[in-house]
Amino acid sequence: MDQRVKEAIFEAVRKEPFARALQLELVELKDGYSVVSMIYEPEKMNNMYARAHGGAIYTLIDEAFETAGQTDGTIVVALNVNVTYVSSPEPGQRLQAEARRMSQTKKTASYDIKVTDQKGQIIALCQALAFRTGKAIPFL
Confidence of residue 135 (pLDDT cuts 50, 70, 90): very high
Residue pair 65/26 in contact (Cβ under 8 Å)? The answer is no
From residue 85, give the alpha-carbon distance in Å to each of 7, 35, 57, 119, 138: 32, 18, 9, 17, 33
Amino acid identity of 8?
A
CB atoms within 10 A of CB 56: 19
From residue 90, give the alpha-carbon distance in Å to each of 85, 86, 106, 122: 14, 13, 41, 12
CB atoms within 10 A of CB 42: 16
Confidence of residue 126 (pLDDT cuts 50, 70, 90): very high
* pLDDT tens string 33-88: 999 999 999 999 999 999 999 999 999 999 999 999 999 999 999 999 999 999 99
Q: Does the domain at residues 3-136 carry the CATH identifier 3.10.129.10?
A: yes
Q: What pLDDT was estimated at residue 92?
A: 95
